[in-house]
Amino acid sequence: MRYPALSDAELEGRRVFLRADLNVPLENGKVADDTRIRGVVPTLRYLLGNGASVVIASHLGRPGGSRNPGLSLAPVADRLEDLMDMKVTFAPDCIGARVSTLRSSMRPGDLLLLENLRFHPGEKEGDEQFARQLADSADLYVNDAFGTSHRAHASMVGVPRILGGGYAGLLVERELEVFQERLESPERPFTLVLGGAKVSDKIPVIENLLTGLDRILIGGGMAFTFMLELGLEVGNSLVELDRLGAAGKIMEDARGRGIEVHLPRDIVVAPSTDRSDLSRTVPADSMPDGEMGLDIGSGTVEEFAGVICSSSTVVWNGPMGVFEIPPFDAGTRGIAEAMATASDSGTFTVVGGGDSARAVAEAGLNDRLGFVSTGGGASLKLLQGDELPALAALRGART
């Protein structure tokens, strides 16, 4: 699917409504990690450089539809001023009379950052009236919030509908280049690495990619549903009983197509996540009763790393264990390192955002990987072959 690009837009003297993803972590009222703010800078420079003025809108955290001063975008405005090296006006709200006045007095080259969209319930509800207020006096819409593009929120879908469609920002364009172009006909062998807790989220990804895949590596909590289906004991590990049949069918389909499916050969077990002092590694066919599998073992890391490094394209989504709690992060770190090593020798490596992207960033490996997505849920939907509602709205007709 192709979407209008910024290079198609007539920007001179126009007022742009830019939906960005400035949902950054805050600590003591300051931006703790400015990666997402940096991410939108190229699009801002492009828009301003081509004669537009830009109203920037974003959400931050989960204020639940009401004003929460701890989740204000004010610290983001300060950081954005530093990064852009120019004045950024900060609006006290995202809609209303005062914001309207600020918007109507904008001149080409001006930047105005609106307050947190989610201070209003209309944002998440996709409310039409709220969207109309957001669209107020804007000439065109640009979406650079890839990580929220699977949500039909007012600023994501309502505003472009009202403005007759819109344009993909540079960050969104780069995500689409990877997920829709490069991965459409990947260089083979093509390996998919899946982990995380939810089997239900990942099964549609395997189903969609099955025809072009060569290897599937399954770790994380989701592996236990597959292992149980194969008749192995999994103790108290996470399982989705209602997905046993689907897991069995995937393995059968994969076998029928000559796709290798690798499951963990060894598992790090403990009675619970808070008893890491009792953790130990056991073979996958000898999991003890009453304990939980919380990470893949080092033998599995070695096997998976070998497959990753002998692939031409690798896509990874989902941690290999409960990576938030050491020592159950070792498997995830091992896979992140294998991805980096593979990249160094020419494999095209893609990390599908969310937890796996966090693990890669924590290991300081971002720069060595082919592409790290800014959207976990959104990239998963693209890998499932779904069109993202906010991107579909860019093609829309005026309402």
- Contact residues toward ligand AMP (CB under 6 A) are 195-198, 201, 220-221, 238, 293-294, 318-319, 321-322, 324, 355
Shortest distance, CB of residue 325 to ligand AMP, whole angstroms? 8
Please, what is the minimum distance in Å from the beta carbon of residue 357 to ligand AMP? 11
> Rounded distance, CA 297 to CA 135, Å?
52
* Active-site annotation holder among 220, 354, 370, 376: 354
**What is the spatial order of strands in the sheet that 313-317 belongs to?**
260-262, 215-218, 190-194, 313-317, 348-351, 371-372
Cis peptide before 69 (omega within 30 of 0): no
Known active-site residue 354: yes
- Supply the minimum distance, in Å, between the C-beta of residue 331 and ligand AMP: 9
Question: How far apart are the C-alpha atoms of 201 and 318, rounded to whole Å?
Answer: 10
Please tell me the distance from the alpha carbon of residue 243 to that of residue 199, in angstroms, as a whole number.
Answer: 7
Q: Is 198 a catalytic residue?
A: yes
CB closer to ligand AMP out of 122 and 318: 318
If the CB atoms of residues 186 and 319 are measured against ligand AMP, the closer one turns out to be 319
Distance from C-alpha of 352 to C-alpha of 380, rounded to nearest angstrom: 7
Give the shortest CB-78-to-ligand AMP separation in angstroms: 31
One-letter amino acid at 333 equals R
Catalytic residue among 198, 265, 358, 395: 198
| Nearest distance, CB of residue 123 and ligand AMP, angstroms | 23
Q: How far apart are CA 7 and CA 374, in angstroms?
A: 22
b/e 292-302 (16+ beta carbons within 10 angstroms → b) = bbbbbbeebbe
Quick check: is 249 catalytic?
Answer: no
Q: Which residue sits closest to ligand AMP, CB atoms considered?
A: 196
Choose the catalytic residue: 212, 235, 377, 396. Answer: 377
For residue 242, the tally of other CB atoms under 10 A from its CB is: 10
Judged by beta carbon, residue 221 or residue 297, the one nearer ligand AMP is 221
Q: Of the listed 19, 36, 151, 161, which one is catalytic?
A: 36
> What residues are labeled active site?
36, 198, 354, 377
